Amino acid sequence: NDQRPERFGRGSGTALPSIVPSAFSMMTNVSDMSRGACGFRITFNIVGMPFENLEDAEATLQINQALAPEFFYFFTYIPLEGTPLYDVTRNNGLLINKDDVNSDYLEGLRSNKFRLNIKEHPGGMTSEEFSQICGRMASFQRENNRLVF
């Protein structure tokens, strides 16, 4: 029995063209205002969450490509005890052995190999799909990022 809260999605397969036009327009307007007020924009994205499918991850990448923030961050989902999403992961039997969780995001960037930190499951990405989309996000990060700290 699937215990996913509605707010976490259901692997709907939505992609950028099917985002509600007013929502995407609002994101673009806020992004433009932020650039005008601050001079730069930074986005933070988490990929590999329970029930996130490849199309959902592709939409995340496409939104960031369209917004072209001055700094794009992405991180791989790590189930953290005490969080609501950890409970979703646990309640759906998606936890892997704690020793197998890869929390070294930088190693993934260096090797361009990313590990899914939950079990493969219907409605979610395969490990291979996850590694490939993370590789594409890493490429976008290298090509896109323009801020120097």
**Nearest C-alpha neighbor of 42 from the set 68, 3, 65:** 68
Give the pLDDT confidence score for residue 37 in this predicted structure.
66
Read off φ and ψ for residue 103, nearest 5 degrees: -100, 5
Contacts of 102-110 with C-beta under 8 Å, sequence gap 24+, read 102/76, 103/78, 105/75, 105/76, 108/76, 108/134, 108/138, 109/138, 109/141
Give the pLDDT confidence score for residue 149 in this predicted structure.
64
**CB-based contacts of 15, cutoff 8 Å, min separation 6:** 55, 58, 59, 62
Q: What is the pLDDT of residues 59-92, one digit of tens each?
A: 999 999 988 999 999 999 999 999 999 999 999 9
Q: What is the pLDDT of residues 82-129, one digit of tens each?
A: 999 999 999 999 999 999 998 877 778 788 889 999 999 999 999 999
Separation CA 71–CA 79 (nearest Å)? 25
Give the pLDDT confidence score for residue 16 in this predicted structure.
45
Q: What is the pTM of this model?
A: 0.78
Q: Which helix (H) or strand (E) holds 28?
A: helix 21-38
Through-space distance between the first and last CA atoms of the chain, rounded to whole angstroms: 47
Q: What is the pLDDT of residues 21-31, one digit of tens each?
A: 566 666 666 66
Query: The dihedral of CA 89, 94, 97, 103: what is its sign?
Result: negative
Give the pLDDT confidence score for residue 83 in this predicted structure.
95
